Amino acid sequence: MKNNIKILVLLFSFGFFMSCDDELNDLQPFVEGNPETFFNSVSAFQNGVDGAYRQLWNYYSSTGSGLQGIPDILSDNVIIAQTGRRSNQDYYNYRYVPSTGGAIDLYWSEAYEAVNVANLVIAQIDNLGDGPDKDNILGQALAIRAWAHFDLVRVYGKIPTQSADANASLGVVYLKVEDGDTEDPFAEPARETVASNYAEIIGDLERASQLIGEDNGQGKLNTDGVYALLSRVYLYNGEYQKVIDAANEVSVPLATAEELEGLYTDANEAGIVVKLAINTSSESGGNNVGVLYSQSNATSTISEYVFDFDFFNSIDEDDQRKDVISFVGLNADNQYNAISKFLGETGQVNGRVDVKVIRAAEVLLNKAEAQYELGQDALTTLDELRDLRYVSYDGGESGQDLEDAIQFERRVELSFEGHRFFDLKRRGEPVQRSTMGDIIDGSGTPPDFPTLAADNFRFQLPIPIAEINANQNMVQNPGY
């Protein structure tokens, strides 16, 4: 699709999901018909909301470019394995341009498709009578709209805490049906500021938190999920007391160390607050999200990316996560510190598992970081996690050592789940990869680009070239 902002509005305004790509065909039962008459029951509205979840599913779990993995490939957590297929090397080597395709196009198109489906639901919500069902549908749609816009602005725009000029810099187009943004099918909207985007995101999420139900089933948002999203968004926006308040509303307990292996093989859902259900009986088909890190054939698992040498060796032997998230990979007579988080379900190496979007551990780490920023007792909060992850640890940090400990635990706990690049970006820190090689002992080929300066323009991905060409009001990011 050449211009998802403009063309999708056109499609929806005519009331048809036309067969212009496979993604729209996935949005069953929206094959044809007028939304004003289609949305006439709670089940029909939930089908609409499920279509929006599906679009999130598409860009988080894409086999080659999923948001679950690319932010780690862009960061200092991994090094490309020379005996792999060298997939996504344009991203790993910071050579992406507006026409690169892959993640650049995928996130833009699928996120705006999620936004447009959510707006369809919101536009017709008064077809339902007042009550809990209507509130829950509206709450889900608002939260999905905010979630998709949040992903868009953190990928293509700056993050408020990243730099002094971030809030005034260009974000993305925030599409709200209530504001008439979807009425003109030929509109060519302009980018808004990052500050404006975050205000809209938070407004939608805060409203959703008061409407959404407590349990909507697997792979769907609920009260815990919205507050968990708010804890993340507030952190990115530097609203630290609100981070703490939102985190305190999340009731999901942390996974224990013993539960982690089953968590990553989909044998349990310990500590999961928000997930996108890829590998379930309720979904027809699925994407092998783990293939960003490794490929499999009949005889072996071939690593695409492995642990950065210094990162792997910084993880203590008393850390019970180490053996869960890594294994010794063997390929072409070389050994690698390979990534095991997304190998597959128990006994499988096909990379097909659910995407763990937000876990209770992240919510707790959001809270710990916010407490540190406010001079509150962050150590006690951090130790809640460390008590469940280490055989033993020293602890007792204060000052800069405590801040470093919080960020280190965040890096290890959330590794390979799509956080590291954004964490460096929002904190205004550079990417600093090891200069060692890809093989297990540090030999092999070191990275071509070990450092990305904190002020480098490549922390913001380029707007896709098709969008620039189709919309004369769309401004490209600096540097591209």
Domain ranges of the chain: 44-276+288-444+457-470
The per-residue pLDDT for 25 is 39
Token pair for 180 = 């008439």
Do residues 455 and 163 touch, judged by C-beta distance below 8 A? yes
Beta-sheet pairing, 355-359 with 431-432: unpaired
In degrees rounded to 5, what are phi and psi of residue 271? 75, 5
Q: Name the pairing type of β-strands 294-296 and 301-303.
A: antiparallel
Q: Are 192 and 172 in contact (CB under 8 A)?
A: yes
Give the HSE-up count for residue 179: Cα atoms under 13 Å, Cβ half-sphere: 7
d(CA 334, CA 444): 9
What tens-digit pLDDT sequence spans the chain (480 residues)?
334 454 344 333 323 232 233 433 344 434 345 777 789 899 999 999 999 999 999 999 988 899 999 999 999 999 999 999 999 999 999 999 999 999 999 999 999 999 999 999 999 999 999 999 999 999 999 999 999 999 999 999 999 999 999 999 999 999 999 999 999 888 999 999 999 999 999 999 999 999 999 999 989 999 999 999 999 999 999 999 999 999 999 999 999 999 999 999 999 999 999 999 876 544 445 578 888 999 877 667 899 999 999 999 999 999 999 999 999 999 989 999 999 999 989 888 888 899 999 999 999 999 999 999 999 999 999 999 999 999 999 999 999 999 999 999 999 999 999 999 999 999 999 999 999 999 999 999 999 999 999 999 999 999 999 999 999 999 999 999
Residue 5 is predicted with a pLDDT of 52
Q: Which residues contact 264 (CB under 8 A, 6 or more apart)?
A: 324, 325, 340, 341, 342, 353, 356
Residue 89 in tokens = 């090397």
Please state, in angstroms and rounded to a whole number, the distance separating the CA atoms of residues 401 and 324. Answer: 26
The whole-number pLDDT of residue 2 equals 34
What angle, 0 to 180 degrees and rounded to 10, lies between the N-to-C axes of helices 132-156 and 223-236?
30
Number of neighbours of residue 377 by Cβ within 10 angstroms: 11
407/414 Cα distance (integer angstroms)? 10
Let me know if domain 44-276+288-444+457-470 sits in CATH 1.25.40.390. yes
Question: 356 CB contacts (<8 Å, ≥6 apart)?
Answer: 263, 264, 272, 275, 417
Specify whether the CB–CB gap between 168 and 160 falls below 8 A.
no
Alpha-carbon distance 286 to 408, whole Å?
33
Closest CA to 142 of 117, 179, 159, 169: 117
Instruction: Give pLDDT, residue 469.
Output: 96
Instruction: Tell me the residue type at 440.
Output: I
Do 211 and 136 contact (CB within 8 A), yes or no?
Answer: yes
Q: How confident is the model at residue 185, as a pLDDT?
A: 83
Is residue 278 a contact partner of residue 61, using CB atoms and an 8 Å limit?
yes
- Nearest-10 Cα torsion for 81, 84, 90, 93: 10
Q: How far apart are CA 56 and CA 74, in angstroms?
A: 21
Q: Is the Cβ–Cβ distance between 158 and 421 less than 8 Å?
A: no
